[in-house]
Amino acid sequence: MWLEYKRLCSQQQSCEARRGAIGKQYAIRFPEETSYELGQNEAFFYLDEGDDPEKVRFHDYSAIYERAGLYEQLFYERLQCRSPEVVVSRLERALSNAGQSLSTMRVLDLGAGNGIVGEALRARGIARVVGLDIIPAAHDAAARDRPGVYDDYFVADITDLPKPQEEALGRWNATCLTCVAALGFDDIPAPAFIEAMNLVSKQGWLAFNVKADFLGSASPFAELVKAMLMENLVDLHLIERYWHRLSIDGDWLEYFVVVAKKRGHLPEKIVRRFNGE
């Protein structure tokens, strides 16, 4: 627990140092409305940069990423997000328990954003880490804020990859998939996660998190997780409930971190089912 606490502090300090190096403090204001009146993907804040405050949704990543340090100030300093360190540390633990080392993994980081997960992996001496995100501003922010963290970074819709990008991703021979704080809302749908899973080796590892409420829902991603477990498509190595970050009202948002090992590529019937065929 002490080591985990130190690493969480290290993640927080890294984000603060990153923003401090930028030398800009943003004027962030939360609205009068409570988060109880809004869905988590509808939450927003006001950004005072001139005469008229700008209303920015938490999931308007392009608007956030284009401002260096804003993501860190909002989610890591003010809302105390813990997920990158939690997911990576649980992956490391599960691999160690299975007699494997995180440092040997070749990771595909789905929904890579501005590179905070990639940075946590790099801190543990990861062999290779490749980022993938559908938002061009995410790639630009990672290159600006964390240059050199990713061995390669692809901007693409993974459900509609051009052949050259599909082949280029395949050449990285990923043995592990990470996906942090991007599942269950509209960010990364179940078909995209399936495509990413199938880019990982047949006996590859999966490490992701999802809002606790979603696993008990009938959402497509919840149904996918249930299908993977009930139909023995993966070996579950770890599932743990934890606090992801604070809401705008100061309540902790509860998530699950899941670490599993594939038993092979997903059967075609599963792929068709979640692609709506």
What does the pLDDT look like over 217-258, one tens digit per residue?
A: 778 888 888 889 888 999 999 999 999 999 999 999 999 999
83-274 architecture in CATH?
3-Layer(aba) Sandwich (3.40)
pLDDT recorded at residue 15: 57
What does the pLDDT look like over 68-123, one tens digit per residue?
A: 999 999 999 999 999 999 999 999 999 999 999 999 999 999 999 999 999 999 99
DSSP 7-71: HHHHHHHHHHHHHHHHT---EEE--SS-GGGS-GGG-EEEEESSSSPEEEETT-HHHHHTSTTHH
Q: Which residue has the tokens 């606090």?
A: 243
* pTM of the predicted protein model: 0.90
Quick one: angle between helices 83-97 and 2-22, nearest 10? 140
Q: For residue 181, report the phi and psi dihedrals to the nearest 5 degrees.
A: 60, 35
More confident residue, 248 or 19: 248
Fill in the amino acid letter for 136.
P
Domain spans of the chain, in order of start: 22-78, 83-274
